[in-house]
Chains A and B, each alone.
Chain A
Amino acid sequence: MSDHHGSDHFIVPASTYVKTFITLLFLTVITVLAAQFDFGVLNLPIAMLIALAKAFTVAYIFMGLKWDKDVNSLALIGSAFFLFLFIILTFSDIAYRSEKDKMEKMLINMESPYSQNSTDSHHDTKAAHNSKEH
């Protein structure tokens, strides 16, 4: 800690910033190189992992979270956590929609209120609805 000025703010050595800069350039090269190979379904997760490593480096060193009060890190981690929830909840819906019909057949007499166009419906209200159309 430096104590020669009023705000007692830690002055990060310039060499730390230079090393961080080189690390980020290195990770950028890795990102581009990794994209030249086809890892199949792992393409996206690998690219995201490298991006997360870069994002962490920027936030930890350049944005000074390493030397900051913990509450600032909490703000970033909190937003990342809620973004994660957003993705998980959205995909728990999107990724299983195609299974809807299969699940309906498994659960007798249970039908999604959204399946207005299903033709094999024997539900009372649905039958009444169909007879009106004919």
Chain B
Amino acid sequence: MVRMSLTKIQAGGVNVTEFIKHQVAHHFGSAKEEFETAKLGMWAFLVTEILFFGALFVGYFVLKYLYPEMFIEGHHHLDWRMGGINTLFLITSSFTMVMAVRSAQTSQKKATVNYLIVTVIFALLFMVVKFFEYSGKIHHGFLPPLLFSGSGVEPTLPLFFGLYFFMTGLHGIHVLIGVGLIIWLIFKAKKGEFHEEYFTPVEMVGLYWHLVDLIWIFLFPLFYLVE
């Protein structure tokens, strides 16, 4: 089995001195089986993530239904330009991530590393914008709920900022975890661990990263745009 895939690497024109051969775990019949098992496992994890965030979205809808005026006021405290720029950053990073996966699939080591670096840069830019947004809100005393000292017309305004900080904060933590994972990928990619025979970690982190983008796709209009 090992010899077979090695000859395939050589037949495909992959430089074996540049890349590290992946050893399929002994309990898998083939590399394909291993890859598809990992992918199904990753999707099972993403399901738990969707339901985890889903509960918060249900909370959002309930509060919006009960206190529509609070949301209109809270919404005016947020700058949609900041959210819009962050949306562009995340969508661009999703695109560069998918190109990194593609580069790994086609054994382009340098391109894989470069696309991953660009992805990290956009993720960090996202966090920089978030930092300025958060520090602005904290400066105005909008930290929920006991620390809330901001002035608002609606008495329920701390609820809005409770949701805002919790949902975007949890999303921000996911972005930071993603940054850590992608940096880990960069080191592995530099060593030559990813090539057309084996790119499972790049693909899985890619899936995670797209989910982070996907959650922001809903957070952006719900907090920054909808009245």
**A contact set with B: CB distance below 8 Å:** 4-9, 11-12, 14, 17-18, 20-21, 24-25, 28, 31-32, 34-35, 38, 43-44, 47-48, 50-51, 54-55, 58-59, 62-63, 68-69, 71-72, 75-76, 78-80, 82-83, 86-87, 90-91, 94-95
Contact = CB atoms under 8 A, between A and B. Distances in A.
B79 interface: no
12 contacts: A21-B94, A21-B95, A28-B84, A31-B221, A35-B226, A38-B227, A44-B226, A54-B217, A58-B213, A59-B210, A75-B47, A91-B61
A78 B47 contact: yes
B203 to A, nearest CB: 8
Given A9-B105, A28-B87, A51-B217, A35 B99 contact: no
Contact of A71 (B40, B62, B80, B206): B40
Contacts, number: 144
Nearest to A5: B196
B214 A55 contact: yes
A20 B91 CA distance: 10
A6 B5 contact: yes
Contacts of B207: 63
Interface stretch (B50-58, B172-180, B184-192): B50-58
Which of B32, B61, B214 has the most CB atoms of chain A within a 10 A radius of its CB? B214
Contacts of A75: 40, 43-44, 46-47
Nearest to A25: B91
Contacts of B165: none
Given A8-B32, A62-B210, A94-B65, A28 B91 contact: yes
Contacts of A43: 226-227
A43 B222 CA distance: 10
Interface of B: 5, 8-9, 11-12, 31-32, 35-36, 39-40, 43-44, 46-47, 50-51, 54-55, 57-58, 61-62, 64-66, 80, 84, 87-88, 91-92, 94-95, 97-99, 102, 105-106, 196-198, 206-207, 210-211, 213-214, 217-218, 220-222, 225-227
Given A9-B105, A47-B226, A75-B47, A58 B217 contact: yes
A107 B46 CA distance: 46
DSSP class of A's interface residues: helix, strand, loop or mixed?
A: helix
Given A4-B11, A28-B84, A72-B40, 6 more contacts: A6-B8, A35-B221, A58-B210, A69-B40, A90-B61, A94-B66
A133 B217 CA distance: 54
Contact of A32 (B65, B80, B102, B218): B80
B225 A35 contact: yes
A80 B52 CA distance: 12
A80 B50 contact: yes
Which of B46, B206, B221 has the most CB atoms of chain A within a 10 A radius of its CB? B221
